[in-house]
């Protein structure tokens, strides 16, 4: 199965080397059909109910994960909630303990120099 990096966001551009998805349905399709090396997630999407929190709930329920998951949402409350849900899934042994989970909010429109270095890391 091919390895890819996925960036879920409806406003920001994906970093180089990432497949951009704008909806949770697009993201779920990739999670089901590819091996995801790095998955970076936003919370607030155009569809207010089908958001990052719903995606995380579906990922945990269907046991769909990546080697590395980053929550990049600028929505601090919901982003932390997504992060905590993923960490709880690890604690409950639903998600592999080897999955690296990060909470790294990204600005909406401007990335300071060096800010995207996190996305250049390899496994």
- What is the pLDDT averaged over residues 23-39? 98
* pLDDT at 48 > cutoff 60: yes
pTM (whole model) above 0.95: no
Q: Quick: pLDDT tens for 51-83.
A: 999 999 999 999 999 999 999 999 999 999 999
Burial of 90 (0-12, 13-18, 19+ CB in 10 A): middle
Angle between helices 52-62 and 76-91 (to 10 degrees): 10
* Residues 51, 33: Cα–Cα separation, whole Å: 20
Residue scoring higher pLDDT (12 or 109): 12
Domain residue extents for the chain:
3-120
In this prediction, residues 86-91 reach a mean pLDDT of 98
Name the CATH architecture for the domain at 3-120.
3-Layer(aba) Sandwich (3.40)
**pLDDT above 90 coverage of the chain, percent:** 80
Alpha-carbon distance of 95 to 97, in angstroms, equals 6
Handedness of CA 99, 26, 60, 51 (dihedral sign): positive
pLDDT at 121: 67
Question: Can you give the pLDDT at residue 2?
Answer: 81
């Amino acid at each position: 199965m091919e390895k890819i990096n996925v960036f879920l966001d409806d406003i920001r551009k994906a970093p180089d080397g990432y497949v951009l998805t704008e909806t949770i349905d697009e993201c779920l399709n990739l999670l089901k059909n590819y091996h995801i090396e790095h998955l970076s997630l936003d919370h607030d999407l155009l569809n207010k109910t089908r958001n990052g929190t719903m995606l995380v709930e579906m990922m945990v329920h269907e046991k769909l994960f990546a080697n590395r998951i980053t929550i990049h949402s600028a929505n601090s409350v919901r982003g932390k909630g997504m992060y905590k849900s993923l960490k709880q899934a690890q604690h409950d042994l639903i998600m592999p303990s080897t999955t690296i989970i990060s909470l790294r909010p990204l600005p909406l429109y401007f990335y300071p120099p060096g800010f995207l270095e996190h996305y250049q890391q390899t496994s």
